[in-house]
Amino acid sequence: MIRELRDLTDKELARFWSYVDKRGDNECWPWLRSSAGTAPMFGLDNTAVSALRIMYRLHYGVSVPDNRALLRRCGSKGFTCCNPRHLLVVKRGTRYSVWRKQQLEAARGDVRALAELAGFELVPTESGRYRLEQAEVRP
């Protein structure tokens, strides 16, 4: 299920961007306001909304499905990066260390790791080959 974020008003957009230390395209963009642990939050309609989900929607024009999470490729520590180029949609519950290990295995040609990174699993067929299926996402 995808819960669409509504469009932000001009006033809300200005407030949102005032909380982002926007730097170079490939640099981390620190979130300057409060966070829930390592998750930057933005007040919208009397509710705390993930600033990363807002940033992803602003940059890519689509909302992240509820059964997916956003992981920061940069693995920023000590502050919360919200550069949209550093955001990756992953299966909910994926940890950075696990994602990084899968990424390295995929780079070495491990097809299983590559499929898992993309949210799929390899399922054996009767012929002894494999087919890709969307991985089951558990809440």
pTM: 0.66
Q: Is the pLDDT of residue 85 over 80?
A: yes
CA distance 20 to 78: 15
CA distance 135 to 100: 19
Mean pLDDT value across residues 64-82: 78
What one-letter code names the amino acid at 124? P
Mean pLDDT value across residues 10-24: 95
Torsion of CA 61, 86, 110, 69, to 10 degrees: -60
CA distance 66 to 4: 10
Q: For residue 51, give the 3-state DSSP assignment.
A: helix
